Amino acid sequence: MVTPILHEVAGGLDSTPEAATAAVTAYMIPFAALMPVSGTLTERWGRRRTLRLSLAVFILASGLCALAPAIEVFLAGRVLQGATNAFTTPAPGGSDQRHHAP
């Protein structure tokens, strides 16, 4: 989310710009909290499955944000976006042991 549009988000949700500012924090806290473990969990669960599930939940969370009737619902969607993006970020990179010779 780009901070210059926070006033528009606040207006669209009948909220204040200060409350809309929480959208950045609501995204970053779960993203930062899950990043240290997301790579390990992605390796354990499998990259393809983790990426697909993460992207599916991210799309649903984006829909929740787009259709949010109130700032609280919007912020809940942002929390889900941050959490799922923590799993999509490391998934495409890294080494895959199946493609390396022993």
Give the pLDDT confidence of 2-59 residue by residue, as tens digits: 678 888 888 888 888 888 888 889 999 999 999 888 888 888 888 889 889 999 999 9
pTM above 0.85, yes or no: no
Q: Does residue 60 surpass a pLDDT of 90?
A: yes
| Selection from 28, 30, 29, 4 nearest residue 17 by Cα | 4
DSSP character string of 9-64: HHHHTT--HHHHHHHHHHHHHHHHHHHHHHHHHHHHH-HHHHHHHHHHHHHHHHHH
Q: In this structure, what token pair is assigned to residue 89?
A: 């970020």
Q: Quick count: other Cβ atoms within 10 Å of Cβ 68?
A: 18
- Read off the pLDDT band of 102 (50, 70, 90): very low
Please give the pLDDT value at position 101.
Answer: 47
The residue extents of the domains of the chain are 26-92
